[in-house]
Amino acid sequence: MTQETPDRTSRFNVLVVEDSPPMRSMIVFALRGLAGVTVVEADDGVDALRKLAKEDFDLILTDINMPILDGLKLIKRLRADVSYERVPVIVITTEGAAEDRQRALALGANAYITKPIQPPVVTKTVRKILGLD
Amino acid sequence: MQAMSEPEGQVNLKNQTEAFLHEFFGKGEVFVRQLIQENERLRRELNAAHPARPDNPEIAPASVVEHLVARVTELEALVSRGEQDGFPLLNARIEELETENYHLAAMYVAGLQFHAGATIAEVLRTATEILLNFVGVGAFTIYGVDEERRVLFPIDREGGDIDELDEVPLDGDAPLASLYQRARPWSRGDDAYALDGAIMHLPMVSRARLMAVIRLEAFLAQKSEFIDNDYSLLSMISEHAGIALESAWHRAHSTDVPLQRVTVEQLVGA
């Protein structure tokens, strides 16, 4: 499913990887105010890789705990592939322990946000990484 | 990547606010000048009409005019400062509204998911996802109700081993049992029934029938207490999940039959 903001001149393609449909909806909702951003949704890491193979993305937001291919394995795969090694990744997860954060950042995540999310935190982080500020 | 300064919505709101403030203070300044001119004109007329009058009363006292001019100057400075600082109050209000919108959307999504749940497993999964992702409860147990054996039994657990848990008699003194006897949805201000170390016990009720209970045991590591918006989500789980569970229970025991005009009309009383 792809949701485009009212601004038809999309300049940024963002992939949201989250297995929980209500949570995925809320992340998409939080991003809706960012003009020029198109959001594509993926159910898990494997679905994300499938979508990455079809189109280019400027940013990936991913959960950690997902079936089939979790968020940490997804980051590992991305960083090992020259095609995606530079695509920024923001982790959005329930795992709030310091060692979880460190593990994700060590694997190559660019930012780490814990749930329950605060929309301003998500949009500020996305804006910073996309260079919208 | 092409740089952008602000999200379109924020830019529009800020532009509209700036335009309004400039127009407002512009009009204020014109009004004060007109007031001063009118004051001078009336004073001249009074002086001409009553040249022998000992004093020359002012229609608007000079102190009032001075105060208005000072106020306009002060407000203009405030706008100017706001422009330099990036309108912190406006931005804070935008964030507040964004958070409130998000909460309303979360309520909508949660309600939609509950009513879309066709099976007990789907309804319980939605309750689990809302507690974990939206509320921030990291450990909890969902107990189902066995009305024939009169026990609550652990059906799903997050953050612990379900095999460690026993059944709870419905007729005993445990907090969980009192929810069966009370049998109405929880809402903010109600007792949390957290007597045995739990954060709270959340009943899932359909009309006066207890369908299940969630024992909330621990928050996620990054959360220490409920915030205002959590209470309406907990209340929604208590009421909507209970109805959804009962519908799913009925659906699981029903036989599908073709829709018939005669029967539908009878059902709606047409």
Contact B216, B200 (CB under 8 A): yes
Tens-place pLDDT, residues B165-208: 999 999 877 777 888 888 888 888 887 777 778 999 999 999 99
In this complex, do A26 and B133 lie within 8 Å of one another by their Cβ atoms? yes
Closest to B220 measured CA to CA, from B150, B131, B148? B131
Span B4-28, pLDDT tens digits: 445 565 566 666 666 666 666 677 6
Identify the H or E element spanning A30: helix A21-31
Can you tell me the distance from the alpha carbon of A83 to that of B211, in angstroms, rounded to the nearest whole number?
51
Decide if A67 touches B, using CB distance below 8 A. Answer: no
Contact flag A22-B2 (C-beta cutoff 8 Å): no
Q: Does A33 touch chain B (CB under 8 A)?
A: yes
Partnered with residue A92 across adjacent β-strands are A113
Q: What is the pLDDT of residues A77-123, one digit of tens each?
A: 999 999 999 999 999 999 999 999 999 999 999 999 999 999 999 99
CATH of domain A12-130: 3.40.50.2300
Lookup: tokens for B78: 């405030």
**Measured between CB atoms, which of A5, A6, A29 is closest to B105?**
A29
Which pLDDT tens digit goes with each residue over A1-10? 455 444 446 6
pLDDT at B211 over 90: yes
d(CA B270, CA A46): 52
Of B233, B247, B120, B264, whose CA–CA distance to A22 is shortest?
B233
Residue B162: band (very low, low, confident or very high) from pLDDT cuts 50, 70, 90: very high
- For residue B95, the chain A residues in CB contact (below 8 A) are 120
Amino acid identity of residue A17, one-letter, is V
Q: At what angle do helices B8-49 and B62-85 cross, to 10 degrees?
A: 170
Q: Give the closest-approach CA distance of B189 to chain A in angstroms.
A: 23
Q: pTM higher than 0.95 for the full model? A: no
CB pairs below 8 Å between A and B: how many?
Answer: 91
Q: Are B40 and B32 in contact (CB under 8 A)?
A: no
Q: What is the dihedral of CA B54, B56, B59, B60, to 10 degrees?
A: -120
Domain segments of chain A as ranges: 12-130
Sheet of A37-42, strands arranged across: A2-4, A37-42, A12-17, A59-62, A89-93, A111-114
Min CA distance, B95 vs chain A (Å)?
A: 6
Q: Give yes or no for a contact between A125 and A30, defined as CB atoms under 8 angstroms apart.
A: no
Q: In what order do the strands lie in the sheet with B168-169?
A: B168-169, B151-158, B137-146, B209-219, B200-206
Task: Evaluate whether B264 touches B165 at the Cβ level (below 8 Å).
Answer: no
Q: A53 — contact with chain B (CB < 8 Å)?
A: no
* Closest approach of B40 to chain A, Cα-based (Å): 52
User: What's the whole-number average pLDDT of chain B?
Assistant: 84
Mean pLDDT of chain A: 92
Collapse the DSSP code of B162 into the 3-class scheme (helix H, G, I; strand E, B; otherwise coil) and give the result.
Answer: helix
* Residue B10 with chain A: CB contacts under 8 Å: 33
| Min Cα–Cα distance to chain B from A36, Å | 8
Please provide the distance, in angstroms rounded to a whole number, between the alpha carbons at the two ends of chain B: 62
Do B221 and A96 lie within an 8 Å CB cutoff?
A: yes
Residue B119, phi then psi, degrees to nearest 5: -125, 160
- Residue to mutate among A94, A99, A129, with most B CBs inside 10 A, is A94
Instruction: Tokens for A90, please give them.
Output: 């923001």
Strand, helix or coil for residue B4 = coil
| Closest partner CB to B2 (pick from A11, A94, A123) | A11
- Contact of A34 with chain B, judged by CB distance below 8 Å, is answered with yes
List residues in chain B touching A: CB distance below 8 A.
1-10, 95, 98-99, 101-102, 105-106, 109-110, 113, 126, 129-130, 132-136, 138, 220-223
**Interface test mutation site (partner B, options A14, A26, A27, A57, max chain B beta carbons within 10 A):** A26
Please answer yes or no on whether B1 and A131 come within 8 Å at the CB atom.
yes
Angle at B86 between CA B81 and CA B92, to 5 degrees: 110
Angle A66-A67-A73 (CA atoms, 0-180°, nearest 5)?
65
